[in-house]
Amino acid sequence: MKHRRAALIVLDGLGIGAAPDAAGWGDSGSDTLGNVARAAGGLSLPNLERLGLGHCADLEGVRRVDAPTAAYGVALPASPGKDSTTGHWELCGLKLAQAFPTYPHGFPADVIADFARRTGREVIGNVASSGTTILDRLGAEHLASGAWIVYTSADSVFQVAAHEDVVPLAELYRACGIAREMLAGEHGVSRVIARPFTGTPGNWTRTPRRKDFSLAPPGDTLIDRLAAHHIPRVGVGKVDDLFAGRNLSAEHTATNAIAYGMIVTALEAMQRGLLFANVIEFDQTWGHRNDVAGFVRGLRELDAALPRMLAGLRSEDLVIFTADHGNDPTTPSTDHSREQVPVLATGPRVRSAALGQRQTFADVGQTIAEFLGVEPLTSGTSFLHEVWVD
């Protein structure tokens, strides 16, 4: 086990079809990859085809090759939720019994009043909104008053937006830290998110200095198991924030292209352990903004980056590409969607195999736990024996 390396690469928001219970989450008809492929009139993704993406689902333009180089399948969400925190925790073997609270009509008045009192600034907004819409609506008022823009979404998030020329980043981060302390128990949202922005009315820009303040996982995860055995963990993207920084640090990325470069660099340098990466733009840049054209460009960029990411794999390497939820840019909603996710496992000693429809994302983490030789996680069924050639 001491020479083994695993890479878990989460393509944020890249769902591949509505989960069986999607209607209960308001997501009937959501199918991120399927709908994007149809909207584009078909996708040409030769490297993803070679891995076996066409065997995961029927995607217009994506061929089912005769001899995929990866094991392929899909995984269903078993935890109640459709957000990044829930999805990443489940991928790492921690299933939730109860959904995080959401606030479609805004947060209670006493919560907002306490936040304003403790941070020394008034609050405007306190509504459910997309990040771009809220700036168009309240950005000018924020410039004039200096009040926090607080908003939420269909997810369990308390988001605080502030212009970098009005509120120093350190003050915004400190305020979000205060909100994180406040929002526990009954109001324990999954994430408090600092949303700095710049620009002028009609030309707002959200900067890459976003910061997430997550709840700590309520139980052990794959990350904790690896830490207990002193197995190295390397993070790329916001994965550390999603685990409240527990046993994981990461270098954050503003774009998918930067993430792909960091993945290559990490795989060149790592001797053993886990590379855990979040590739953010399918969700943040294109899904939340209903940008189908951008989503298609992003898929092509991913496809072009695959050979470089996989070129330096060693004989004891296992790489799994998957996602944490859907974010269908073709639907009227700008929120996450309750979807199954693709699972593509590859490496020099991985045999092509049909993984079928896994009943929980946790199967991914359980497989990596077995691969790296740590105790089984509390949830999930390993598929390592189905794919690994000894």
Same domain for 364 and 258: yes
In a domain, 192, yes or no: yes
Check residue 130 and give its pLDDT.
85
Block mean pLDDT (10 aa), the chain, length 390: 93 98 95 98 98 98 97 98 95 94 95 98 95 93 97 93 98 98 94 96 92 92 98 97 95 95 97 97 95 98 98 96 98 94 98 98 98 98 97
Burial of 203 from C-beta contacts in 10 A (0-12 / 13-18 / 19+): exposed
Q: Kindly state whether residues 370 and 227 are assigned to the same domain.
A: yes
Q: Is residue 103 part of a domain?
A: no
- The answer to whether residue 168 is domain-embedded is yes
Tell me: do 91 and 181 sit in the same domain.
no
What pLDDT was estimated at residue 132? 84
Domain membership flag for residue 231: yes
Question: pLDDT tens-digit profile of 152-171?
Answer: 988 899 999 999 999 999 99
What confidence score (pLDDT) does residue 286 get? Answer: 97
User: Are residue 247 and residue 326 in the same domain, yes or no?
Assistant: yes
Final residue before a domain boundary, out of 210, 228, 249:
210
Beta bridge partners of 205: 198
The model's pTM is 0.90
- The predicted pLDDT at position 86 comes to 94
Residue 137 has what pLDDT?
95
What are the b/e assignments for 273-294, b being 16+ CB within 10 Å? bbbbbbbbbbbbbbbbbbebeb
**Neighbouring-strand partners of residue 58:** none
Under 8 Å between Cβ of 204 and 162: no
For residue 345, what pLDDT is reported? Answer: 98
379 and 242 within one domain: yes
Same domain, 274 and 379: yes
In a domain, 104, yes or no: no
CA angle 219, 223, 224 (to 5 degrees): 50
Last residue of a domain, one of 210, 225, 247: 210
Strand pairing of 317-322 and 341-346?
antiparallel
Let me know if residue 101 belongs to a domain. Answer: no
Q: What CATH number corresponds to the domain at position 184?
A: 3.30.70.1250
Residues 285 and 377 in one domain: yes
The answer to whether 275 and 259 have CB atoms below 8 angstroms apart is no
Per-residue confidence (pLDDT) for residue 154, from 0 to 100: 84
Residue type, 278: N
* 159, 127 contact by CB (below 8 A): no
From 176, 194, 210, the end of a domain falls on 210
> Would residue 102 count as lying in a domain?
no
For residue 208, what pLDDT is reported?
86
d(CA 265, CA 312): 10
What local confidence, expressed as pLDDT, does residue 377 receive?
98
Cα(249)–Cα(331) distance, rounded to whole angstroms? Answer: 35
- Whether residues 289 and 366 share a domain: the answer is yes
Residue 27: per-residue pLDDT: 96
Q: Write out the residue range of the structural domain in which residue 158 sits.
A: 109-210
How far is it, in rounded angstroms, from Cα 124 to Cα 366? 44
CATH of the domain at 315: 3.40.720.10
What residues does 162 pair with on adjacent strands? 196
* 197 shares its domain with 227: no
Q: How many CA atoms lie within 13 A of 1 on its CB side?
A: 14
Split into its structural domains, the chain has a count of 2
In terms of domains, do 130 and 191 share one? yes
Give the Cα separation of 290 and 380 in Å (integer): 33
> What pLDDT does 96 receive?
93
- Residue 275's contacts (CB-CB under 8 Å, 6 or more residues apart) are 5, 6, 7, 8, 9, 234, 236, 263, 266, 267
Same domain, 75 and 222: yes
Q: Give yes or no: residues 336 and 220 share one domain.
A: yes
DSSP per-residue string spanning 194-256: EEEEEEETTEEEE-TT-EEEEPPPSS--HHHHHHHTT--EEEESTHHHHTTTTT--EE--SSH
Tell which phi-psi region holds residue 156, choosing left (phi > 0), alpha (psi between -120 and 50) or beta: beta
